[in-house]
Structure 1
Amino acid sequence: MDFSLKMYSEICRALEPYRVVTVKQYLSQDIEPPLVIMRHDVDKDLDCALAVAELEYRMGINSTYYFRYPRTFDLVTMSKISRWGHEIGYHYEVMDKAGGNIQKALDIFRQELDIFRRYFPVSTVCRHGNPLTKWDGKEIWEHCDFKDFDLEGEAYLSLADVSVYLTDTGRNWCGSRNIKDFLGSGSSVSIKKTPELIAFLQNMGADRIYLNCHPERWAPGLWGWVKSLLRDKTLNLGKFLINQCHRPKPPSFPGGDTRRKN
């Protein structure tokens, strides 16, 4: 079955020819391609995050896991994933919490980042894109710099030099259900189902690939798969209706270069 933990293990096997790196590793080290940057946005299900992280650990893969505060901020889960060698990051949604007020959003960002750093050495952050709100969290970076928070970078803004960005948002890989989950750079590829993604990886379709997989979409067991399918179908219907009215464009950042520094 597509979008099952077993299918995700097939993705991991297809990564064998590549150097698989975390977001922090990509931004802080000079790594020769072919490479895959592996990222996971832990939006909802901690059990699925543990299942995916353990599978990767057993297959020798290190990834970045971004956790929301307080929705998925769970020290037991995060500590176990960290011990498996994965990067822990902060999945911020401060513009939504601040109702679009930039200064309030920055204050919340600093407070929540400090909470993460009491337990983990957070070096990268990633905006959480809620399709039901009108604000884009990346806009805070028009008013500050990563250095203000001692960060290596941001999981969207700092990876402008990747060849291809692929995300499972909307339960497909072609981006047709995306409202806020897009990079704004990189080549587009015609991939819808996971077997097509696996073939693309096996054929070395690009030398710098950025993969974003949401753990709750790769649930173990039949019941977990059914719950994930029903949730995605409901969410996709809502996204379809929203998409008819509005699709935000990636913001420009004239205040500074937010791209990866070599």
Structure 2
Amino acid sequence: MRDFTLKKYENLLQAIKKTNYSTCTVYDFLKNNPENCIILRHDVDRAITRNLAMAKLEHSYGIKSTYYFRHIKETFKPEIIRQMAKMGHEIGFHYEVMDKANGDPERAIEIFRKELEDLRKVTENVTEINTVCMHGNPLKPWSNRDLWKKYDFRDFGILGEPYLSIDYNKVFYLTDTGRTWADLKIRVKDTIDKPGANAKVDPGSISSTDDVIRLIRTEEISRICLLVHPNRWCEDLGGWTKELLFQNVKNVGKAGIVWYRNIQRSREITH
């Protein structure tokens, strides 16, 4: 069976349901601090219909997860956002305001305030916006989470930010960034500061969704966070092939960016 299809994701959900793991949203994890759980988090970067399809699939299994929406025309679709919220999924804000403000934090915080307000208007009377998560554009030099070096997201009624609020010494982190679960040195922005829990498993042993399923079936790790980008999971062969080719080209570029920035950092250290 092809990987990164909706059917393969269903296999993953089925595997989770057969274990003693509970599933939770980012907000529920931060609020309740549960043990033996899998945090399901999605970044709504593009292809909004694929996100909706994944949300419906999870809902059919009685699973709630977190969907972080970018404030761009392609993904900021109020009716779809409300539809997903009514399924019980957490709706969060996928902010990219340092990129939009060209690195100016004062301008960025005003953009953040306005865009968060826009999203809260969409979800009014349906659900609350309790967590936010930065979007990482590998072509931009800024990290959007750096906004919080000067400001505090709690001032906006936000409980947490998964890159900053989850202790990854205690939570095993897996992401499908690059359309693979393996860390192939292509993660430019999707990195965590304290990946201590990831030392429990050989990083070379997990690359496919089947590998993730096998890990979950062992129930050896008490807490797992899965970051899944629904736009990468496509059922029809045409779309699946297009996504594969697009991501392979993108990965080459991202690997080059990582290599270049590592060289720059090493030069700064030696000088």
Contact 2:171 2:224 in 1 (8 A): yes
Displacement of 1:175 after TM fit?
2.1
Displacement of 1:231 after TM fit?
1.6
Contact 1:51 1:220 in 2 (8 A): no
- Secondary structure (helix, strand or coil) at the match of 1:175 reads coil
1:117 aligns with 2:115: no
Q: For 2:82, which of 71, 79, 83 is the aligned residue?
A: 79
Equivalent in the alignment of 2:63:
61
How far apart in 1 are the matches of 2:155 and 2:38?
A: 28
- Secondary structure (helix, strand or coil) at the match of 2:94 reads strand
How far apart in 2 are the matches of 1:163 and 1:27?
A: 12
Equivalent in the alignment of 1:228:
243
Displacement of 1:146 after TM fit?
2.4
TM-score (norm 1): 0.91
Equivalent in the alignment of 2:174:
166
Equivalent in the alignment of 2:214:
199
1:106 aligns with 2:115: no
CA displacement 1:112-165 (0-9 Å, x = unmatched): 001111122211000000011110011111112122111011121011154211
How far apart in 2 are the matches of 1:213 and 1:185?
A: 20
How far apart in 1 are the matches of 2:44 and 2:171?
A: 24
CA displacement 1:231-262 (0-9 Å, x = unmatched): 2112111112212101599xxxxxxxxxxxxx
* Structure 1 unmatched ranges of 5 or more: 250-262
TM-score (norm 2): 0.88
Equivalent in the alignment of 2:14:
13
Task: Kindly report the root-mean-square deviation, in angstroms, between the aligned alpha carbons of the 2 structures.
Answer: 1.5
Looking at secondary structure, tell me which structure has more helix per residue: 2
Equivalent in the alignment of 1:254:
none
- Secondary structure (helix, strand or coil) at the match of 1:65 reads strand
Count of aligned positions: 248
- Secondary structure (helix, strand or coil) at the match of 2:251 reads helix
Amino acid at match of 1:8: Y
Contact 1:165 1:210 in 2 (8 A): yes
- Secondary structure (helix, strand or coil) at the match of 1:130 reads coil
How far apart in 2 are the matches of 1:23 and 1:231?
A: 29
Q: For 1:45, which of 29, 41, 47 is the aligned residue?
A: 47
Give aligned-pair identity as a percent. 41
